[in-house]
Amino acid sequence: MATNLTPRSLERYRGSLAHLRKTLGSKRLQELRPVDLAAVYASMAREGLSARTVKHAHVVGHKAFEQAKLWGLLKDNPAAIARPPAPGKAKIEILQPKQAKALLERLRGGPLYLLASLGLATGMRRNEMLGLRWRDVDLEAGRATVEQSLEQTSAHGIRTKAPKTEAGLRTISLPAHICEELRAHRVTQAKQRLALGMGKAPDDSTMLADLEGKPLSPNAVSKMWKRALTGVTLHSLRHTHASMLIAAGVDILTVSRRLGHASPSITLDVYGHLVHGADDRAAKVMDAAFG
């Protein structure tokens, strides 16, 4: 799969196969039975691994065994019969408006403030925000174009990659307060570079960069966030952005486009339970027509 996956996805695949290899590595391929896989899944669950992690190990194993079958090394795919535990629907963490404002006030003046403010205002993913360059932003028009995101792996370090889907490549309208904050941030960045004798930052440098203008480490940012804010995940900013738009009556298609989802059905699947009031309006429409 190395030629078909991004380095980050490849790391996940190798991690999933490691769970299977730990228990089944000494078995001959032709001796594998569905019950062996069932035992692995049960063992992973006892170790405290989530149903989602177990399911991913099953999916990756299924692909591997299916390839062995195509090569004539296996007659049957044991993973075709074995069933991993069904992962429950992931619980999304959403901040109430007052909580979001309190979070920003708590972070104001610190290194995480602009990241939090941008996340709440745009719904961008962590790696999209960290990969945003100055040339991707038009502060006069109030627009930001997402063309890339950062990816960090143990094999390749930090590098950029294009969005997974065409919908991920998008232009987002920026609130006026974010444009002001970004202008102030650019001035601060310029003063810091001048003090270091580095001159003006190139247009292809990232907005959220270190003193040398290099992109911030996604892993380091997440660790810093956990130390500063226990109990609140960085990804909850994205969920909060979506929930506030839906609560304000913004249509699902617009929300989906801002989030960069491949389809509005994904947005509905994640946030559909937040849509209220539409059924009441539907009843009123019918009452006006036939009542």
Q: Is residue 88 part of a domain?
A: no
Range of the domain at 62: 7-80
Q: What is the pLDDT of residue 58?
A: 95
Q: Which residues pair with 152 in a beta bridge?
A: 158
Q: Residue 34 and residue 115: Cα distance in Å, rounded?
A: 47
Choose the weakest-confidence range: 1-10, 172-181, 246-255. 1-10
Q: What are the tokens at 163?
A: 């969005």
Choose the weakest-confidence range: 6-20, 53-67, 163-177. 6-20
To the nearest whole number, what is the mean pLDDT of the chain? 91
Q: Is residue 282 part of a domain?
A: no
Average pLDDT for 110-135: 96
Average pLDDT for 129-146: 96
Higher-pLDDT residue of 193 and 172 is 172
Q: What are the tokens at 273?
A: 């339970």
Per-residue pLDDT band for 7 (boundaries 50, 70, 90) equals: confident
The percent of residues in the chain predicted with pLDDT above 70, rounded, is 99
256 lies in the same domain as 148: yes
61 lies in the same domain as 170: no
Per-residue pLDDT band for 202 (boundaries 50, 70, 90) equals: confident
How do residues 148-161 score in pLDDT, each as one tens digit? 999 998 888 999 99
Q: What is the pLDDT of residue 254?
A: 95
Helix orientation angle between 264-271 and 236-247, rounded to the nearest 10 degrees: 90
CATH code for position 183: 1.10.443.10
Q: What is the pLDDT of residue 155?
A: 80
185 lies in the same domain as 263: yes
Q: What is the pLDDT of residue 150?
A: 94
Buried b (16+ CB within 10 A) or exposed e, 114-133: bbbbbbbbbbbbbbbbbbbb
Q: Is residue 154 part of a domain?
A: yes
Q: Is residue 250 part of a domain?
A: yes
129 lies in the same domain as 190: yes
Residue with tokens 């290099």: 214
How do residues 69-96 score in pLDDT, each as one tens digit? 999 999 999 999 998 888 777 678 999 9
What separation in angstroms does the CA of 115 have from each of 27, 81, 191, 207, 223? 49, 46, 20, 10, 14
180 lies in the same domain as 71: no
Domain final residue pick, 32, 55, 80? 80
Q: Is the pLDDT of residue 2 over 90?
A: no
- H/E segment holding residue 171: strand 170-173
User: For the chain, what's the residue count?
Assistant: 291
Q: Residue 174 and residue 183: Cα distance in Å, rounded?
A: 13
Q: Is residue 279 part of a domain?
A: no
Q: How many domains does the chain have?
A: 2
141 lies in the same domain as 263: yes
Q: Is residue 283 part of a domain?
A: no
CATH code for position 24: 1.10.150.130
Average pLDDT for 270-279: 78
Per-residue pLDDT band for 278 (boundaries 50, 70, 90) equals: low
- In sequence order, which residues have a C-beta less than 8 Å from that of residue 24 and are 6 or more positions away? 32, 36, 37, 40
Q: Which amino acid is at 172?
A: I
Domain final residue pick, 52, 80, 108? 80
Per-residue pLDDT band for 200 (boundaries 50, 70, 90) equals: confident
- What is the reported pTM? 0.78
75 lies in the same domain as 138: no
Q: Is residue 290 part of a domain?
A: no
104 lies in the same domain as 243: yes
Beta-carbon neighbour count of residue 181 at 10 Å? Answer: 17
Q: Is residue 281 part of a domain?
A: no
57 lies in the same domain as 113: no
144 lies in the same domain as 242: yes
Residues 187, 113, 151, 158: is their CA dihedral positive or negative?
Answer: positive
Q: What is the pLDDT of residue 117?
A: 97
Per-residue pLDDT band for 283 (boundaries 50, 70, 90) equals: confident
Residue with tokens 């486009």: 257
146 lies in the same domain as 262: yes
174 lies in the same domain as 220: yes
